[in-house]
């Protein structure tokens, strides 16, 4: 509930602040037709605003509407007991004609707060906001075109405001120059533009916390007093700044200011600090930003961090951070998917696998709780190269198999995070979740399900084996050197070594036990003249272990299922984690170890139930239509083109459980 209050309070001002982009849309709509739905919504809001006008004032003109908002901030449980619709209707809104600025006048609460806010009208437009107890970064306002002195005032009675609220209030004195932002042109779709109003981000981007600990099977375990080690895991593609600047065509819907790293960084850090994960898996982390800004800040927040940059000329990579107050590092293994000489592994993507030991309170033995394996990766994007995606995932699963396997041959709990660039129920997704995939003859574009290339005349098809045996990875996604039986003497010899025995002397000798048949086996054959002379047999310097390869089937035994269901039943729409070119898709995931249900296979989909690692809660995702209302991603509130994923887990403390029985 505290999380909901934070999100709402932060974004009331973000939604009501003056935006050059929104005002530009107002100006652009004058003189051209407005889509029917937007026009009706605009008319409705104008009528509601006109109802609050004194009788002497006239209705405001379209394109020059702004609002002066006066309201009492609801604190604590009073806000939490108020629905969003009630919260929106609570403030007194006065519509003013002929005014280009939006003023926010929060009233002081009846009880004094810790400190009074200094007079903001005297502060410069770009200011570092420091609050006692806050993080050591600053919320930086985008530079405005002009500053107007004395055109509006800010009530200084507001106390103890959120840093983001204070920072955004500094920019309300800017002159607005109507500029029509570029729009995304997508076939069979309307132009991707923000609504011609000030967008209420606190409503549109509201994300609920789903408490899954109230489910019957979890309550049954709680009733048995099963002790749990609880922790939170976040997976977040934070959008590397170099990739923004290299692909500006993907962000034409965004105002340039919100794409600036100095604007995005405080938003990203504040979001991470607010949700307070214990394990943080990040993708698209730019190397210089990591070492100069992110890693020092995370260290001050109590994280221990590991980073792996992509190979080649790429400047971003993956990072895994964990709270050293909750975990202790056992092992870390970076993975490079690029393998010289292999066409199927010729891309520069990377991954990280960590083995962590949960830390229990003093007096409890660490052996009471199992280690936790955490993996993070960013798989190749190219929708046409599903073969590469599968090979990269097989290499990652082989590394997890090596790190997570115990001495008894079982696996410790695994959490796999990342941007997999594959949609739900695609073959790659099914491979991870169901543990098996028959790929032989499958079109490569079909593996990820990102795009439909069925009209392509000669698509690339997957053939068995998918990768060569020289990679050292079996079709069970295990390293061959680790999965062979100790008694196995079988070896795979090179072709050159075996060719030595074609014309050797032993091959020309008559075996003594051979039955004598006149004219058939009664004489030793003469060596043909064209046969090469006998050469000494040379031992194979490096015989490869022999392991069988199946015909077009790969599998793994990690038993992974997804934290998210990928569907929003209350809205009847699929979940979305990103919006490339205005089209919503789910490509980001958190998978975790579970136990397969016996005889639980429904339409080829394996069913799971929680085992030692239990899913206790998750942060809800949004649908495509909701993000379209907020002008897609990124936007002034969400500073990445992906949404963060957050889940709460509980790990059984096994020894205590046995003592309680």
Q: Which pLDDT tens digit goes with each residue over 159-200?
A: 344 444 334 444 444 444 444 444 444 444 444 444 444 657
d(CA 31, CA 183): 17
Mark the ranges of the chain whose per-residue pLDDT is less than 50: 1-2, 4-34, 50-197, 486-488, 656-661
Is the distance from CB of 235 to CB of 376 less than 8 angstroms? yes
Indicate whether this model's pTM tops 0.85: no
d(CA 188, CA 629): 18
| Strand runs labelled E in 208-298 | 209-211, 228-237, 279-286
d(CA 158, CA 73): 9
Our measurement of the distance from residue 242's CA atom to the centroid of its chain's CA atoms, rounded to an integer in Å, reads: 18
Q: What is the pLDDT of residue 546?
A: 57
Q: What is the pLDDT of residue 502?
A: 67
Q: What is the pLDDT of residue 547?
A: 65
What is the DSSP pairing of strand 279-286 with strand 316-323?
antiparallel
Is the distance from CB of 140 to CB of 262 less than 8 angstroms? yes
d(CA 372, CA 70): 50
- CA-wise closest residue to 574 among 584, 587, 562: 584
Which ranges of 52-184 does DSSP label H, i.e. alpha helix? 76-80, 84-89, 163-169
Q: What is the pLDDT of residue 543?
A: 57
Q: What is the pLDDT of residue 570?
A: 86
What's the helix, strand, coil split of the chain in %, to 5?
Answer: 30, 25, 50
Q: Give the Å distances, CA to CA, from 197 to 26, 52, 90, 134.
A: 7, 17, 19, 32
Non-local CB neighbours of 515 within 8 Å, separated by 6+ positions: 521
Q: What is the pLDDT of residue 494?
A: 67
Q: What is the pLDDT of residue 6?
A: 47
CA-based angle 381:382:384, to the nearest 5? 140
Q: How many CA atoms lie within 13 A of 462 on its CB side?
A: 28
Q: What is the pLDDT of residue 55?
A: 43
How does DSSP classify residue 295? H
Count of all residues that appear for the chain in the document: 661
């Amino acid at each position: 509930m505290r999380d909901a209050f934070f999100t709402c309070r932060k974004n009331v001002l973000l939604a009501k602040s003056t935006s050059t982009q929104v005002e530009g849309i107002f100006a652009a709509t004058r003189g051209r037709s407005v889509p029917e739905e937007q026009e009706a919504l605009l008319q409705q809001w104008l009528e509601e605003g006109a109802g609050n006008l004194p009788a002497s004032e006239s209705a405001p003109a379209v394109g020059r509407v702004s609002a002066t908002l006066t309201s009492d901030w609801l604190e604590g449980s009073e806000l939490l007991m108020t629905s969003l619709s009630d919260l929106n209707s609570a403030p007194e809104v006065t519509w003013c004609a002929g005014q280009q600025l939006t003023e926010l006048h929060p009233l002081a609460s009846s009880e004094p707060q810790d400190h009074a806010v200094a007079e903001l009208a005297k502060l410069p437009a770009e200011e570092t906001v420091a609050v006692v107890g806050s993080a050591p970064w600053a919320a930086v306002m985008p530079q405005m075109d002009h500053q107007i002195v004395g055109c509006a005032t800010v009530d200084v009675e507001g106390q103890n405001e959120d840093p983001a609220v204070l920072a955004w209030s500094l920019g309300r004195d800017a002159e607005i120059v109507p500029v029509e932002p570029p729009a995304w042109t997508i076939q069979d779709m309307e132009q991707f533009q923000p609504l011609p109003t000030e967008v209420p981000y606190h409503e549109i981007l509201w994300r609920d916390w789903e408490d899954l600990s109230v489910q019957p099977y979890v309550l049954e375990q709680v009733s048995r007093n099963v002790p749990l080690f609880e922790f939170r895991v976040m997976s977040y593609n934070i959008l590397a700044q170099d990739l923004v600047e290299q692909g500006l065509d993907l962000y034409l819907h965004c105002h340039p200011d919100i794409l600036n790293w100095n604007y995005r960084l405080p938003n990203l850090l504040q979001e991470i600090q607010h949700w307070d994960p214990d394990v943080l898996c990040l993708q698209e982390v730019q190397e210089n930003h990591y070492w100069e800004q992110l890693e020092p800040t995370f260290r001050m927040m109590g994280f221990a961090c590991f980073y792996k940059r992509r190979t080649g000329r790429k400047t971003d990579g993956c990072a895994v951070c964990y709270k050293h107050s909750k975990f202790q590092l056992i092992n870390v293994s970076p993975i490079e998917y690029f393998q010289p000489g292999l066409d199927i592994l010729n891309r520069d993507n990377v991954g990280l696998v960590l083995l962590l030991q949960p830390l229990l309170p003093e007096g409890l033995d660490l052996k009471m709780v199992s280690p936790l394996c955490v993996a993070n990766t960013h798989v190749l994007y190219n929708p046409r190269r599903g073969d590469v995606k599968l090979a990269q995932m097989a290499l990652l699963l082989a590394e997890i198999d090596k790190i997570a396997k115990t001495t008894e041959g079982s696996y410790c709990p695994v959490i796999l995070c990342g941007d997999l660039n594959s949609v739900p129920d695609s073959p790659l997704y099914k491979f991870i979740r169901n543990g098996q995939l028959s790929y032989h003859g499958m079109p490569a574009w079909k593996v990820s399900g990102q795009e439909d290339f069925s009209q392509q005349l000669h698509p690339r098809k997957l053939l068995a084996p998918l990768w060569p045996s020289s990679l050292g990875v079996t079709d069970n996604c295990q390293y061959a050197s680790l999965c062979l039986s100790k008694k196995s003497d079988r070896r795979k010899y090179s072709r050159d070594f075996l060719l030595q025995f074609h014309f050797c002397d032993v091959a020309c000798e008559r075996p003594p036990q051979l039955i004598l048949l006149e004219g058939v086996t009664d004489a030793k054959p003469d060596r043909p003249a064209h046969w090469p002379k006998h050469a000494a047999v040379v031992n194979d310097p490096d015989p490869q272990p022999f392991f069988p390869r199946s015909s077009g089937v790969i599998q793994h035994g990690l038993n992974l299922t997804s934290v998210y269901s990928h569907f929003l039943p209350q809205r009847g729409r699929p979940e979305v984690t990103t919006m490339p070119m205005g089209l919503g898709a789910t490509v980001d995931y958190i998978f975790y170890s579970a136990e397969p249900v016996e005889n639980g296979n429904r339409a080829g989909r394996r069913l799971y139930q929680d085992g030692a690692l239990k899913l206790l809660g998750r942060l809800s995702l949004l649908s495509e239509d909701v993000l379209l209302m907020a002008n897609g991603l990124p936007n002034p509130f969400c500073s990445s083109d992906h949404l963060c994923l957050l889940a709460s887990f509980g790990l059984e403390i096994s020894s205590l459980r046995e003592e309680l029985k």
